[in-house]
Amino acid sequence: MTIRDVAEHSGVSVSTVSRVLNNHPDVSEAVRSRVLASVQELHYVPNNSARDLVRSQSDTIGLVVRGVGNPFFSAVIRAVEQSVSQAGYTMVLHQINTEDNELLAGASLARSKKLRGLILLGGCFDYTPEQTAALDIPFVCCSFTNSFGSLNKDAYSSVSIDDQAEARRAVEILVRQGHQKIAVLLDSTHDHSVSELRYHGYCQALAEHGIPLDPDLVAETGDFDMAAAYEGTCRLLEQKKEFTALFVIADSMAVAAMKALHDGGRRIPEDCSIIAIDGIDMSTYTVPTLTTLIQPQESMGEEAVRILLDMVEERAGNRHVRVSTALRAGGSVAPLN
Amino acid sequence: MTIRDVAEHSGVSVSTVSRVLNNHPDVSEAVRSRVLASVQELHYVPNNSARDLVRSQSDTIGLVVRGVGNPFFSAVIRAVEQSVSQAGYTMVLHQINTEDNELLAGASLARSKKLRGLILLGGCFDYTPEQTAALDIPFVCCSFTNSFGSLNKDAYSSVSIDDQAEARRAVEILVRQGHQKIAVLLDSTHDHSVSELRYHGYCQALAEHGIPLDPDLVAETGDFDMAAAYEGTCRLLEQKKEFTALFVIADSMAVAAMKALHDGGRRIPEDCSIIAIDGIDMSTYTVPTLTTLIQPQESMGEEAVRILLDMVEERAGNRHVRVSTALRAGGSVAPLN
């Protein structure tokens, strides 16, 4: 059974069968269905070993995901896996907790799996050249960059949003609705992570509108998970300072914050507006739908693979791509009464 | 830099360092932190290539995930990856859509990556021996089994809940609260999938309590995603038949159904009770918290790896493990007024 048999059976060319089997987008649904029906009927199994033999080096790309429960990463992982496969490479996934070291994990994976390149999905923003020295393959930081570190721009690649500017934009949306007492829910104000950057954006927006920063309205959770976000919001409600709006640094945390606000007797958005950044599927289905700045998860994954393979195949060097968010106006933000 | 340097630096034995680096659970947090601090300070990179050289065969285990956006799978994927890594193997992940064929994807991956074994996470319940013939390596069906198929018990392995019995249990919880007009939201009543099995459980519970089956209260969405679940619930509300409770076959679909009920002016649980099966993190944070039967996602992943490696390392043959759910009593079910 060869690809020719499948082509003959389904009445298309060998190259069309190949395009279908490799998930290329430029095939009509009708042809795709016909080819897959033939593949199934003939019990054909694509044999890639010839291609594997020709390629003298490993074809493996590593993906180290830091923050295993983060729903924001799901769509990115999917896009990376598909882009890597379509390019004829294999993706090896390694997932670590936020307290683990992604560079160490990546370097270990690179050696043991003879990686050609590495994508880090989630990580620290403060790498030093010493820390990355152990990584002797190209790597791309996906969803973060080296804002607090000392790497040369040409020593690493990145795909990210401008976290500080996007956080500033989110908080400005609240200010424009008349809110002045705006609380923030974050992991930490000084963790050299996405949390610290988005906190700076919050501070910047307040400063630009002459709103004094109130430390009582800054809720640090010490973690990115939903349980910590729920607890952090409860603490905000327990202290006596009033707030009419809440900026949460991540959608998943915002879902938990909405629950805590509800359990604390606050109506959203009547008693408290809420806005976040990320844009996960689930936050479309909160009541009300969460207003958020959506990161383009799929294109971030695809772009990370494109940058990495350009380096692996020696077409280009390190580069940095900034992507923009898109506002999803849900029902969680309202003008101040 | 060797593992001995790390052991000396952190004042523990080489074997303790090794246990930490391989994520073995039997190390105290204090020792673990100390060793990782030394690893980081010394910029030590574990070198597994000696181990890789000794092993003559590929060390790769495939994981084919069918239904890429399914949040229920996240915790299972994590557990599989960790168990595979801890056992010294490599996991290669391949994600496909629900309309794709996981056996074809698995067989292709097995050849191209020289897999030792395969875990299918999500798949059809109706395999024939002809269909699985292309898979000449051990495989484990994780979260499903061959209820509608013709495989011999000893030709495959599985880890799953008893879908029909658990669905029956969920619906009985509603019946015991006085509900008789119970709607069901599912992908399809006859798709030979988890949806059909859980539908049978629904029918069984109704029959056992003398409640006639009302086709108007059976909402087929034709898909497992949240958008389809939202639309399906809207259609249930538009038809004129009354219902006081809703059984949804999956948590993620239930989150969307709750939104649709809310948008349709129904209060949960006052106007409509809702119960589901799966137990994803996110459904803890719906308002009210979703009442659901939680599948033990982590242990299902771990068990699938255990079964598979027992076969790969020739300690045992195919076997089938049934796991039970645990009821999480949220706030979405109330007695009928």
Q: pLDDT tens digits, residue range B90-135?
A: 999 888 888 889 999 999 999 888 999 999 999 999 999 999 998 9
Report which of A294, A288, A220 is spatially closest to residue A251, judged by C-alpha positions.
A294
- Contact, A317 vs A154, CB < 8 A? yes
Contact A133 B43 (CB under 8 A): yes
Task: For chain A, positions 266-295, list CB contacts with chain B under 8 A.
Answer: 281-282, 284-287, 289
Report which of B149, B96, B102 is spatially closest to residue B126, judged by C-alpha positions.
B149
| Of B68-72, B269-273, B315-319, the least confident | B68-72
Q: Which phi and psi (to 5°) does residue B12 adopt?
A: -130, 175
Q: Give the pLDDT confidence score for residue B53 in this predicted structure.
A: 40
d(CA B253, CA B185): 8
Closest residue of chain B to A92, computed from CA coordinates: B92
H-type helices in chain B, by residue range? 3-10, 14-21, 29-41, 49-54, 72-86, 102-112, 129-132, 163-176, 194-208, 226-238, 251-263, 297-312
Interface check B97 vs A, CB under 8 A: no
For the segment B22-48, the average pLDDT, to the nearest whole number, is 75
Report which of B297, B227, B269, B334 is spatially closest to residue B78, judged by C-alpha positions.
B297
Is the pLDDT at B52 greater than 60? The verdict is no
For the segment B161-178, the average pLDDT, to the nearest whole number, is 98
For the segment B199-214, the average pLDDT, to the nearest whole number, is 98
Q: Which phi and psi (to 5°) does residue A331 adopt?
A: -115, 20
- Chain A residues whose CB is inside 8 A of the B82 CB are 95
Dihedral sign for Cα B298, B303, B308, B314, please.
Answer: positive
| Of A66-75, B124-133, B214-223, B259-268, the least confident | A66-75
Kindly indicate the confidence band of residue B5, based on its pLDDT and cuts at 50, 70 and 90: confident
Q: Give the pLDDT confidence score for residue B19 in this predicted structure.
A: 75
Is the pLDDT at B200 greater than 80? The verdict is yes
Report which of B235, B257, B256 is spatially closest to residue B245, judged by C-alpha positions.
B257
- Contact, B231 vs B198, CB < 8 A? no
- Contact, B236 vs B243, CB < 8 A? yes
| CATH topology identical between B56-162+296-324 and B163-295 | yes
Q: In this structure, which amino acid lies at residue B12?
A: V
The overall average pLDDT reported for chain B is: 91
Residues of chain A with pLDDT under 50: 49-56
3-state secondary structure of A161: strand
The torsion of the CA quartet B110, B113, B114, B116, rounded to 10 degrees, works out to: -70
Q: Determine if the pTM surpasses 0.80.
A: yes
Q: Within 10 A of A292 (CB to CB), how many other CB atoms are there?
A: 28
- The enclosing H or E element of A183 equals strand A182-186
Interface check B228 vs A, CB under 8 A: no
Residue A134 tokens read as 């152990």
- Contact, A319 vs A160, CB < 8 A? no
Q: pLDDT tens digits, residue range B127-150?
A: 999 999 989 999 999 999 999 999
Sequence-ordered list of residues with C-beta below 8 angstroms from that of A285, at least 6 positions apart, any chain: B226, B230, B255, B256, B258, B259
Domain boundaries, chain B: 3-47, 56-162+296-324, 163-295
How many angstroms from the chain centroid is the CA of residue B64?
Answer: 12
In CATH terms, B3-47 corresponds, of 1.10.20.140, 3.40.630.30, 1.10.260.40, 2.30.40.10, to: 1.10.260.40
Separation in Å, CA B103 to CA B100, B121, B139, B321: 9, 11, 10, 21
Check: CATH 3.40.1400.10 for A53-161+296-324? no
| Of A196-210, B29-43, B196-210, B307-321, the least confident | B29-43
For the segment B234-252, the average pLDDT, to the nearest whole number, is 96
ipTM: 0.80
> What are the contacts of B35-40 at 24+ separation with CB within 8 A?
B35/B6, B35/B10, B36/A101, B37/B10, B38/B6, B38/B9, B38/B10, B39/A101, B39/A104, B39/B6, B40/A101, B40/A104
DSSP A212: P
Q: Give the pLDDT confidence score for residue B292 in this predicted structure.
A: 98
Shortest CA gap B108–chain A (Å) = 6
The hierarchical CATH code for the domain B163-295 is 3.40.50.2300
Kindly indicate the confidence band of residue B50, based on its pLDDT and cuts at 50, 70 and 90: very low
In the CATH scheme, what is the homologous superfamily, with its name and number, of domain B56-162+296-324? Response regulator (3.40.50.2300)
d(CA B140, CA A232): 41
The beta-carbon neighbor of A259 closest among B94, B104, B287 is B287
d(CA B328, CA B295): 10
Kindly indicate the confidence band of residue B31, based on its pLDDT and cuts at 50, 70 and 90: confident
Percent of residues, chain B, with pLDDT higher than 90: 72
Task: For chain A, positions 10-49, list CB contacts with chain B under 8 A.
Answer: 21, 36, 39-40, 43, 45-49
Is the pLDDT at B279 greater than 70? The verdict is yes
Interface check B90 vs A, CB under 8 A: yes
3-state secondary structure of A283: helix
- Chain B residues whose CB is inside 8 A of the A262 CB are 287
Closest residue of chain B to A41, computed from CA coordinates: B131
d(CA B157, CA B138): 8
CA within 13 Å, CB half, B263: 21
Separation in Å, CA B226 to CA A44, A179, A226: 34, 33, 20
Kindly indicate the confidence band of residue B161, based on its pLDDT and cuts at 50, 70 and 90: very high
Is the pLDDT at B30 greater than 90? The verdict is no
Separation in Å, CA A120 to CA A167, A277, B42: 22, 20, 22
- The order of strands in the sheet holding A218-220 is A218-220, A182-186, A245-248, A273-278, A291-294, A326-328
- Contact, B105 vs A39, CB < 8 A? no
d(CA B235, CA B218): 10
- The enclosing H or E element of B70 equals none
The beta-carbon neighbor of A108 closest among B46, B81, B108 is B46
